[in-house]
Each structure stands twice: as C-alpha cells, then as structure tokens.
Structure 1
Amino acid sequence: MEIPDPQPAADGGIGGDESRADRAFRREVRGWLAANLTGDFADARGLGGPGRNHEAFDIRIAWERHMAAGGWTCIGWPEEYGGRSASIQQQVIFHEEYALADAPERVNHMGEQLLGPTLIALGTPHQRERFLPRVAAVEELWCQGYSEPGAGSDLAAIATRAERVGDQWVINGQKVWTSHARDADWCFAIVRSEPGSRRQQGLSCLLVPMDQPGVRVRPITQLTGASEFNEVFFDDARTDADNVVGAPGDGWRVAMTTLGFERGVSMLGRQVGYERELRRLIDTARANGAADDPLIADRLTRAWIGVRTMRFTALRTMAGVRDGAPGPEASIGKIHWARWHRGLGELAMDVLGAGSTVAEGAPYDLDRWQNLFLFSRADTVYAGTDEIQRDIIAERVLGLPRDRGPLPRDRRSRPHPA
C-alpha cells in the first residue's frame, strides 16, 4: 500500500488554489524562515512539542522574541494590536511554512492564541494597551488558571475565591494541571467572586501576576518525567481591581470565549505540528521496514486522512467565528484532535515494535516517540474531557435536552424523563 505523503503543499494552499498575493506571502514567510533559522537558532529546529516543552526553553524563547522583532508573532491579530491582520488563508500558509522549516515549538501559545484573542474580544482599552504589546513582543508569558482539584472538566464547580478589598482583588485557593506555570509571568484565572454563588453564577476572570509572595507553584512530575503541568496555590494573592476581564460575575462567558479559541482557532497551529509528527513517523516506518506491513501501512494512511480532516475542521471553525470568538462547534475539533493524537502515540509504539519498551538510557531517558505515547494519554482529558465536549455538542449545537445525571436508585428501572 502506498502511504500518502503528509507534507503540506508547497504552493497549493487551501484547495490547491492560492491567489497571487497569497503566493507572495508564502514566499515571504519561507524566505524569512530560511534566512533566520541559522546559527544558534538552527540548533533549535524540531525541538519542543508534546511532552518535550522543557527542551531548549531559553533558545526557543529567544527565537520567538526574534520572530516578534521581525513581525511574525500574532499575525492573525488586527494591526492596531500588533498583528498583521492576516487572513485565514495567510495564517494557514504561515503554519504550513513553519512546519516545513522544522522550526521549534512555540512557547507563547497561551498568550498569543488564548489570552490575546480574549482581550481583543472582551477586554477593556486599558487591558489591551497594557497586555497585548507585551504578548506580541513575547516579553510576558501567560498560564491558564482554570482546573482545580474538585473542578477539573467541571469548570462551573470552581471554588477558588476572590474578594474585592479596596482597589485590589485578594485571591485564595488552588489550581491544578496549570501548563507552564513555572515560566509564566501572569495567569488568567477563573475565580468565584460572589460569596454563596453556585455553578456558572458569580465567577470572574482575573489577570494575576505570578511573581508575588501569595503565589506558589509546585511542579507535577508526569509519566514522561517532565513537569509541564503544575499546581498553583493562591494564599492572599493580589491583583489590581481593574484586572478583571469583562464585568465581575461575567467569568463564565469569558471562560467559554477563551475555551472556544483553545478548542477551535488555535487548533490550526496544533494540526500543522501534528502533521509534522506524522511525517516523521512515516519516515521512521519506511526506514525500519514497518511500512511494509499492510496493517501498519493502513493505519498510517488512516492517520494521514485524519490529520487532513483535522485541517479542514480547523478552517471551518475559523470561518465560523462569530463576534470575535468561535462557537460551541469548536468542541467537535477538540474531540477530533485529542483522539487522533492519542492514536498517533499508540501507532508510534507499534511502528517501533519491541524496541518501544526500552528506554534510550538510564534512569529514564525517553525518545521522541515514547514521550509522544505517554504525554498523549492526557490529550482526551486536558482542555476539557471528551465527555464534556460531547455534552457541549449535544446541548449547545444539537439542542438536545440537558443531561440530568444518574437517576436515583429507586427509579433506575423506570423510563428516563425527557
């Protein structure tokens, strides 16, 4: 069986038909990457990625600041906020060329793809002026304070509380699974700001500085041996009163807007990275002979189909953005990429065969594919579990009745009420 080549089209673009302006843009991107991924930056090619975001962090952030100086960060943002107002087509082109150049994994995802678009959609003029230039310049890194020990995928169960004291918010509570919290300068956190409120009511989104005595970060050691996830403890942590996105009590709407970007538009860049991983896995399968096995070849082909479908799902999500933010349909893409990527990790182990069970060195030196397999087990959990995504699709996209949870024991044999 002939395995398709997952390489992005060199000049084809969406549907294989680019305008003259888009072809010129592609040449500009390609030329800039070729001219700048040199010297020390050349050594960063291919570094970072799922389970490996600790790799060469200093050189990767230096690279991203170099990109910012050249005007290549936040290209989809409006020009007035430091972007290029790049069209969807041009954003696709940029991500394709970035992958083709084997450029390092980005470090500013939370700020550029999540916090920035949220502030553009819902922030105040002061917040945009204060934070967006520093995100675009990669001067301040961000983390996302959503999940808690008792509120993982059930964001409405948030217990971390914030009290308005004078001209500040005072925050107490705990967040967990906070990606890159050790490197972040700021956290956008969902907190309960109205005492006695329940579920979606009484939540607020606060922008909280991480470098203060009231914030403590404790790394969580993962299966890969790395610590990209962290616990964050707020003990009388403080932030200025005007660092609330939207109105106090409007945190649920803000959170859904941010999650829409996380599950939708930012998937485009993620998909191109996944395409690069698949390309490497196909090369590995051809080199070690695994591709000669018809079953492996069939699974690699199905993976190629899956990643291409993911691409068009991302484009459809971007095309359907309403009022500056994706709708609940973005959950479809989240389920797709999470299950696809977890499956790619499993496929990688089968491509490697028995050698996949042996570490490269002591005590726990994992190769690229072992890291992928172990880290991708979390893909269907973080950023909202598959179960939560299905509920969102059922209720908010298909209009089905809300899931009322398990029936009382004495009613389990009776028909479920509508």
Structure 2
Amino acid sequence: MNLEWSQEEKAFAEEIRAVLEQELTDDIREADRYATSVYPDHKASMAWQERLHRNGLAAPHWPIEHGGKDWTAAQHYIFACERARARAPSLSPMGIHMVAHVIAAFGTAEQQDFFLPRILSGDVFFCQGYSEPNAGSDLAALQMSAVPNGEDFLLSGSKIWTTHAQEANWIFCLVRTKNTGRRQEGITFILVPMDQDGVTVHPITMLSGETVQNQIFFADVRVSRNNVIGEVDAGWRVAKYLLEFERGGSAYSAGLKIRVSDIEEQASTIAKGEGKLIDDPIFAHKLARARIRVDILEVMELRLLSSAGKGESVGAMSSLMKIMGTELAQHLTELALEAAGPSGTVFQPHPTRPGAAIPDYTAPEDEYVSGATWQAVAPLQYLNERAGSIYAGSNEIQRNILAKHVLGL
C-alpha cells in the first residue's frame, strides 16, 4: 500500500480545493460549524448542494450515466477529505447517498428519469422509513402493512426515528405485503409522497431540545404500484443493498482531524493553574491518544481504498469503519465537553430546525459559567453524538457482523 499520492492525484486535490474555495461561502461554513445534530443544518446543506450541483459535484459517486464522475476510488476519497478540511457541510444522505443508488440499480427507466435529476437539484428531498416502534435493528420484524387495492396499495402503520421528515417531500419505506413464509420474503420497498392524504408527522424532541427525529403515521395512505422499487415482496434485497451505502464512510478521519484541531485550539484558550488546559499533561495525553486513533483510522481507510482500487472484496470492513468512526466521534465530544469546563454544563436546549446551530446564544450572568458559543454547543453535541453508535445499524450489530464474517463465529 502506497501512502503517498501520485502527482495526478495531488493535482486533482488542488482542483477540488479551488472549487471549494470559490463556492464555499462563510455563511454556509459557519452555519454548520456549531451544528449540534449528527445531521447537517438543512438550509446550509441544501444551499451547498445547489452550489456543488452547479459544478457537477453533488453526486460524483453516482453511475456516470446518471450524472456521476468517472473517478478512481482514490479521487473519491480525496474529494471527501478536501470537503472535510474546508469545513463544508455534509449533504443529507437519504437521497443522494442512499435511495438514489437503489433507484439507479433497481428502478425502472421511468423512475430513474423522474427521481434522479430531481434528487440532484434538491427538488425531491427524501427521508427514510425503515425503523418502527417495534422494529429497529431487527428490521425484518417490521409490521407496517401495504394492502393491494386495485392498481394501488393502502399503507397503514408507523415509522419512527425519521430524520428530516419535516422538510422531506418523499419518503422511501419498507412495508409488509405478505405475512407468510420467512419474514424477509414479504417486504416491499416503496416510495411515498409526504403530502399524500393520511400521512401525519409528529416531531420527537431530543435531549438537546431539537426536533431532529420524527414519528410518521400512515392511515390508509394510497400509493401507486408504480412507486414500488424492484419487485413486490422482494424488497429485502433492495433494503440490504441500500444499507451498504448507509453504514460506514470512506473518509471519517478527515472530519475527525478537524475536530481534534478544534479541541486543541479551544483548550489553548482555557486557563488551568498558571497555564492553559492544553498544557495540562493529563488532558494533553488524552488528546494525543485521540489523535493517534484518528491516524490509525486514516491508515485503515487507505488500506480499504487500496483493496477497492485492486477490485478486491472489502467484506465486512464497512462495519469496522462504522464502529471506529462513530466511537471516536463520541470520544471527541467528551474531550470537547471536558475542555468547555463549567461553561459546558450550561444546558441551553433550542427548538430549531434539525442540525442548526444555536441562533442566539445568551451567556449566563454568572461569570463562573459564562463562556463562548462553542462551550454552550459542547453539551448538545455530546448528547446528540450518543446516537452515533446506534443509528445505521447499532455497533453491537456491526460487531456481530464482524464476528460472523471475519472470525467465523
């Protein structure tokens, strides 16, 4: 494995930096810097998607025939790293990174022609309808029904922990169309307009005070059979294909390096004893260990990249990357909270749009706990990041996958 980029790859990185420098405005960057959710600020993310789309860079990972780029695996990785280094907001994954791949792989020509251009432009914005109150990690236990009715289905049931349901105009759902045989055999993948009669969205207030997640109720919602992706009763295969794009990214380390740098900068402003917190050997040791863990993760990403470039199977590596990336992200929020000190205990929940930064931070009058905005954000980021090891398949599930496919247990 070569850890050095080629001259061509270095030139490619320079081209990407130039585009980012030109298109990434301060307001878009700052809107996401103090975001407290695991998902990006919606308005900033969509504004950024529009600018990327204008440069043909909103979905370079898509198939070429649908607007993607003929890039190598290394170029895709470089693109992700440069975006993170520039502090560009991430794009909401449900459309561009998840359901779009399913539509491209399993959808009809009509479905591809309608949805894919509109996902790119942002005119169609998806949320995900997988989990139910009694079906989360055990996804095959889902019970939301789709009963045939002429050329349509009538959908009844509930989905929960649905991010961005307030903003979405479409949802992709797993529904049960058959109750006989193996549980996985009676599941269908279907696309549902959110403005359809019978769809009700109930926001769920999180620990941070944000309404990031939602529960959605479906009461005899009529949906055309033409909205089924793949075959009726064969949605489990489609769902598993989508999860390949949900679990495990290829460039966790770039964003985590930025977090480590932020914590180092913040700790250098906090007084401790006769010096600063960053000079404290115990805290410095914790931060150094975190930096080493990020470096290890980066090397593993490059190993994965090297294997993919040779056409080798990466197997269950996405599960390993998901575990390492999310648990390290959680650890860094703990260090940020420690750096925030007493000011990090001032809990200021705010019912804003999902992922938004605190719009008007009011410093407490008590001088002991008053602090900077990053200190007020630290506890909210800490609380929300707890979900990182649960969503997209809990880390316990990921460890079971590794045990089965890597260790043969």
Residue 47 and residue 287 in structure 1: after superposition, are their counterparts in 2 closer, same or farther (change >3 A)?
closer
User: Aligned partners of 1:317, 1:248: CA distance in 2, in Å?
Assistant: 35
Alignment deviations for residues 132-179 of structure 1 (CA, whole Å, 9 cap, x no partner):
222222221111111111011110110111122222222111111111
User: Aligned partners of 1:291, 1:371: CA distance in 2, in Å?
Assistant: 22
Alignment deviations for residues 210-230 of structure 1 (CA, whole Å, 9 cap, x no partner):
121221111111111111111
Does the 8 Å contact 2:45/2:92 carry over to 1?
no
- Give 1:351 deviation, angstroms: 2.0
- TM-score, length of structure 1 as denominator length: 0.82
**Partner residue of 1:27 out of 7, 10, 14:** 14
1:287 aligns with 2:272: no
**Partner residue of 2:377 out of 361, 365, 368:** 368
Does the 8 Å contact 2:85/2:255 carry over to 1?
no
Residue 67 and residue 224 in structure 1: after superposition, are their counterparts in 2 closer, same or farther (change >3 A)?
same
User: Aligned partners of 1:223, 1:203: CA distance in 2, in Å?
Assistant: 33
Report the residue type matching 2:288 in the other structure.
T
User: Could you tell which deviates more after superposition, 338-347 or 318-327?
Assistant: 318-327
Report the residue type matching 1:22 in the other structure.
E
User: Aligned partners of 1:322, 1:398: CA distance in 2, in Å?
Assistant: 23
SS in 2 for 1:242: helix
Alignment deviations for residues 320-344 of structure 1 (CA, whole Å, 9 cap, x no partner):
4999997544222222222212222
User: Aligned partners of 2:106, 2:112: CA distance in 1, in Å?
Assistant: 10
**Partner residue of 2:388 out of 379, 391, 409:** 379
Residue of structure 2 in register with 1:221 after alignment: 205
Segments of structure 2 that go 5 or more residues without pairing to the other structure are: 271-275, 348-360, 365-372
What is the aligned length? 381
SS in 2 for 1:181: coil
1:165 aligns with 2:149: yes
Does the 8 Å contact 1:186/1:209 carry over to 2?
yes
Residue 39 and residue 222 in structure 1: after superposition, are their counterparts in 2 closer, same or farther (change >3 A)?
closer
Does the 8 Å contact 2:36/2:384 carry over to 1?
no
**Partner residue of 1:82 out of 67, 74, 97:** 67
Residue of structure 2 in register with 1:68 after alignment: 53
Alignment deviations for residues 27-65 of structure 1 (CA, whole Å, 9 cap, x no partner):
221111112224754654635463574x4x334412321
User: Could you tell which deviates more after superposition, 122-131 or 225-234?
Assistant: 122-131
Residue of structure 2 in register with 1:238 after alignment: 222
Does the 8 Å contact 2:36/2:377 carry over to 1?
no
User: Aligned partners of 1:102, 1:315: CA distance in 2, in Å?
Assistant: 21
Residue of structure 1 in register with 2:318 after alignment: 330
- TM-score, length of structure 2 as denominator length: 0.84
Segments of structure 1 that go 5 or more residues without pairing to the other structure are: 1-13, 401-418
What value does the CA root-mean-square deviation take over the aligned residues? 2.8
Report the residue type matching 1:392 in the other structure.
I
Residue of structure 2 in register with 1:4 after alignment: none
Residue of structure 2 in register with 1:138 after alignment: 122
User: Aligned partners of 1:40, 1:292: CA distance in 2, in Å?
Assistant: 33
Residue 321 and residue 201 in structure 1: after superposition, are their counterparts in 2 closer, same or farther (change >3 A)?
farther
Does the 8 Å contact 2:34/2:377 carry over to 1?
no
1:93 aligns with 2:78: yes
- Give 1:255 deviation, angstroms: 1.6
SS in 1 for 2:208: coil
Residue 40 and residue 379 in structure 1: after superposition, are their counterparts in 2 closer, same or farther (change >3 A)?
closer
SS in 2 for 1:260: helix
SS in 2 for 1:379: helix
Residue 393 and residue 45 in structure 1: after superposition, are their counterparts in 2 closer, same or farther (change >3 A)?
closer
User: Aligned partners of 1:142, 1:323: CA distance in 2, in Å?
Assistant: 31
1:277 aligns with 2:259: yes
Does the 8 Å contact 2:191/2:228 carry over to 1?
yes
1:388 aligns with 2:373: no
1:344 aligns with 2:328: no
